[in-house]
Structure 1
């Protein structure tokens, strides 16, 4: 076989990848310098000794009956906080995502006087979603703790507001990214927007929506740790107390519970995806 007939072993996209890699390095290097990123400092003898001593304090985990009772109660509070907050976030996200999804806009299937009004309503809904997700849940938790006092109720509302904005944005994007032809055909045939949603869009993206919702519930469980440090209750508040008392055994037990909760969320997500397959 001649050299001209042999297939080329050169990657046709090699130059583009190289340019992209160099551009990423040029952009990332100044950012690493500004952030004072010095990973070599972790491997200094003094740093390794401090880290080793700190980690050694986490062993063995505390398994005393009194602490396990507190841990069980805090775990239930965290699960209740995450579940209730995610449920309220769904009540916020679903209507706003429904409004902001352009594929479900009746005014888009033909000329009409309501087109500009639909665009204004969609933009207002997008602005609401942006405001809700722009403020971190820890800030909302501080506000609600001041209004409602210490306890899980503040955490529930903080999660509901922030995650309502996040879920609404992602739901709208998922609905827009799926095949919108069935929904458009239903609207053009005289069906309502809810019919177009349930029969035109959801069958194609239900798995993705459920998977992301379960992932957000998992994030809500983790976020409850941070909110617990400002008095929102749950495992986070118990972790705060253990760390202030320098009780590494209690802290490691709490971290093990968080690992089990993440595994539970993974199993739940996989089960729901198989159910909807």
Structure 2
């Protein structure tokens, strides 16, 4: 019988070498981070972890505490939604400025070309500055200015997510079919009309989908920022942990999981409506 000869993968050696290099780098990173996988399964650590989990049961279901949790949940949702709304006010104009496909100078010689190029450069630097600093850092700084409460959290989300949304908005608009927008620019249309009638119809679903995703992230970020005094579920959890009340922490964790599921369900409904 004739033997079947399987062709040798010409990229096998390269893949093997790349994998070895990646594993070596990852191992060094784990060593620098002092992360020991085997330490997780030591008997003493497992016993401490089990005792830690026992403290969370049963959850605190008292009516007075549940009302506090409900109020903090609404505050967290409001913080995330208000932060995204303000982020849009930053992201939309910033994203339009740095989108090269909407540049009038792109279609040929135009007066003020250097000023437009400088404007896009400054807008891009502002975008990098806004998204380069995590929202938790902004929250730490703004809490010192506005005091404890959701104001610092809203502004922290607005600043960081404004830069993030602007970057992704510009990338989505750049990858969209730019011929309709270019045709409008050639006919003397302004940037706003070129965006509304040339780029937005084709990119609206992707823009909305990413905005909804960022709102989901803002809900999670709102909880984290509560630990630095920005209000919401995070601040309530921080207080319960400091009081070593595991039952209250368990209740807050359950509510947080329900909140994440609610955000995911709402985003799914909106995506279906836009599909």
> How does the TM-score come out when normalised to structure 1?
0.92
Alignment of 1:99-114 (within 5 A): 99-114=97-112
SS of corresponding position for 1:229? helix
Among 230, 236, 239, the alignment partner of 1:238 is 236
Which residue is 2:145 aligned to? 147
Is 2:184 aligned against 1:200? no
Deviations 1:169-222 (A, max 9, x none): 111112112222222222223322122212222222222222221221122111
Among 55, 58, 71, the alignment partner of 1:57 is 55
Partners of 1:10 and 1:62 lie apart in 2 by: 62
Which residue is 1:98 aligned to? 96
SS of corresponding position for 1:83? helix
Which residue is 1:191 aligned to? 189
Q: CA deviation at 1:268?
A: 2.0
Q: Is the 8 A contact 1:105 1:193 kept in 2?
A: yes
Is 2:245 aligned against 1:250? no
Structure 1 unaligned residues grouped into runs of 5+: none
Partners of 1:8 and 1:192 lie apart in 2 by: 60
Q: Is the 8 A contact 1:133 1:161 kept in 2?
A: yes
Among 225, 228, 250, the alignment partner of 2:226 is 228
Q: Structure 1 stretch 75-84 or stretch 213-222: which is displaced more?
A: 213-222
Q: Structure 1 stretch 20-29 or stretch 251-260: which is displaced more?
A: 20-29
Root-mean-square deviation (CA), in Å? 1.9
Q: CA deviation at 1:224?
A: 1.7
SS of corresponding position for 1:60? coil
The alignment covers a number of residue pairs equal to 275
> How does the TM-score come out when normalised to structure 2?
0.93
Deviations 1:213-245 (A, max 9, x none): 122112211112222122111111100011111
Q: Is the 8 A contact 1:210 1:269 kept in 2?
A: no
Is 2:127 aligned against 1:121? no
Among 32, 35, 45, the alignment partner of 1:34 is 32
